[in-house]
Structure 1
């Protein structure tokens, strides 16, 4: 990302007044700016002023005394995503970059920050669809040759194919249970869908939290586990009487309710844990929202469901 101080900020001295700044600006060609940076004689950043704060000052006000000394700033080498996170967290539209001595190096303007957020959003959408990282020609993806599309999408679908085979083996092992009570098979699509939906919600929260939030992983994990417990409890409480009314089978209703509660917690944990695991190994955490997490949730949900059937309906 190309940035500069001159492009996005007005650099003023601490002893300069607002009236002197206005006179200086009148003598220069008009240009747009996003932030007023107040520095000392060694160009060390003392504080900043937004345009709104600047307009509220009287002409005789010294800018050094009016500057916000707590304005957020970033060190050199900070990633674009981290800069966007800092700006969002503090509610500012522009972010100064200062070195270890406090000297002003550059200013990240709102346009640059918006481009970061848009790029991250588009990349997350690609990964949610199981599409590998696109190149600089991503806007032309709709017009790409079929072989190029195949190269980007097939790897994750092959992972899904392998997982589907595992899910088929799980179901095949319980053929006798389904033959004894065909109603057992009726609930598989709904259970798998609900676990996937909960996992996808957790994955989305994890991806955004890991890339743009200041919340720690432990806090995210604890909150999602509690949410999974609550979701499982509510879904189980709703499913139990419905199954009882429809099929009149207490054991079947208990098995379905239990198979809703446990995968809800596991899906929340997996949805949050996989992006964190990928980030630990240096991979983009958004990949955890792809078909790999989905197929793992499907296999685990089916295994838990038939485990509940075996336990409650021997």
Structure 2
């Protein structure tokens, strides 16, 4: 009654339905009596027994669910009781497609049938649930832009404190070094600051706006890379968006500075600096995640701190460079 043949001796692709199926299930013919099938179930050793597969001359004909088998009259034929059109999938179908087909049809298990109509196995309820959980985790991590590998995500989430420390601290030390370099850049423009102290007031705002624009682009790029979208498909649109955002912020900041401080030179410096810094932030935020991804490092850990450092330095250089040129 039970089919003990294995599915395949070839290397298994764990992303397809066949990798999760078993053929150790109750099997009967359409001419079998309900009483006989029940008796064989009592002494059988199956991986799952919540349905009986019905075969005739080697071809799949349908299934009988356990609850229907238990409720049927003993002398009824299995062929009269079976569901002739249950949901089935091919062995090579993606595991997620298979699992969701079972969910949509409210099936506790799913039957695999090949192109010739022969029964290949059943995905039991516990394996369907495991597939759904794994695919759910993978979708969330990809949407969040963390990692492609769900196992790697779980490892990173559960790793001990010393490993967390080692993974994160180096990037933050890079940020600390960048802070000292930024302080050095500001010191080099001491003369300009003495001539126009008001310039100091706008450094935090320009740096923040550039970082914010860069963070938005970085999030889009990291998410895109994590789901396999090539950078070349994102470059043109992100650059155009960054340029448009930079121009819009600059055209907004300039008049506001002039309205509040009544200094046309400062207003022009701030407007140009905001536009240039925000536009370059988009380029930096695209390149760094891509470089980290190409080098085999997780862009979710490194791109944020590194992009912040690089963009902060560029924003300060752009700001004081424009100020020096216009003063």
Structure 1 regions of 5+ residues with no counterpart? Answer: 29-34, 56-62, 68-93, 95-105, 126-132
Offset of residue 157 of structure 1: 2.0
The answer for the alignment partner of 2:200 in structure 1 is: 185
Deviation at 1:253, TM superposition (A): 0.8
Q: TM-score under structure 2 normalisation?
A: 0.62
Q: Which has the higher contact order (CA 8 A, sep 6+)?
A: 1
Deviations 1:117-165 (A, max 9, x none): 445678839xxxxxxx998484475xx4xx6664444312211121111
- The 1:149–1:16 alpha-carbon spacing in structure 2 relative to 1, beyond 3 Å, is closer
- For the pair 1:304 / 2:306, whether they are aligned, the reply is no
**Counterpart mapping for 1:39-58 below 5 A:** 39=90, 50-51=101-102, 54=105
Residue 250 of structure 2 contacts residue 271 of structure 2 at CA under 8 Å; is this kept in 1?
yes
Question: Residue 114 of structure 1 corresponds to which residue in structure 2?
Answer: 136
1:239 aligns with 2:281: no
Corresponding residue of 1:210: 225
Give the Cα–Cα distance (whole angstroms) in 1 for the partners of residues 280 and 192 of structure 2. 24
Aligned position for 2:238:
224
**Contact preservation (8 Å) 1:278, 1:287:** no
TM-score, length of structure 1 as denominator length: 0.64
Alignment of structure 1 residues 126-205 onto 2, 5 Å: 136=155, 138-139=157-158, 144=161, 150-205=165-220
User: For residues 310 and 212 of structure 1, what CA distance do their matches in structure 2 show?
Assistant: 44
SS of the residue 2:63 aligns to: helix
Give the match for residue 11 of structure 2: none
- Give how far 1:251 is off: 1.6
How far apart in 1 are the matches of 2:273 and 2:92?
Answer: 61
Residues 1:12 and 1:202: Cα distance change in structure 2 (over 3 Å): farther
Question: Over residues 101-121 of structure 1, what are the superposed CA-to-partner deviations in whole Å (9 max), with x where a residue is unaligned?
Answer: xxxxx9982211112244567
What are the Cα deviations for residues 233-265 of structure 1, in whole angstroms up to 9, with x where unaligned? 111111011111112111211111111111111
When residues 44 and 309 of structure 1 are mapped into structure 2, their CA distance, relative to the original with a 3 A threshold, is closer
| Distance in 2 separating the partners of 1:235 and 1:12 | 69
Deviation at 1:198, TM superposition (A): 1.0
Mapped to 1, the partners of 2:132 and 2:103 lie a distance apart of 15
Note the C-alpha offset of 1:200: 1.1
1-structure distance, mates of 2:233, 2:157: 35
Change (3 A) 1:231 1:15: farther
Distance of 2:65 and 2:168 partners within structure 1? 59
Q: Equivalent residue of 2:89, what SS?
A: strand
Q: Output the CA distance in 1 between the equivalents of 2:249 and 2:224.
A: 26
Match of 1:5 among 16, 21, 29: 21
| Post-superposition offset of 1:192 | 0.6
In terms of Rg, which structure is larger? 2
| Aligned-partner Cα distance in 2 for 1:307–1:273 | 23
- Give the whole-Å Cα distance in 1 for the aligned partners of 2:243 and 2:182: 25
Aligned partners of 1:45 and 1:178: how far apart in 2? 66
Quick one: distance in 2 between partners of 1:157 and 1:22? 61
**Residues 287, 152 of structure 1: alpha-carbon distance in 2 compared, 3 angstrom cutoff:** closer
Q: Report the aligned-residue RMSD.
A: 4.2
Paired residues for 1:285-300 under 5 Å: 285-300=299-314
After superposition, the Cα gap between the structure-2 partners of 1:182 and 1:220, relative to the gap in structure 1 and judged at 3 Å, is same
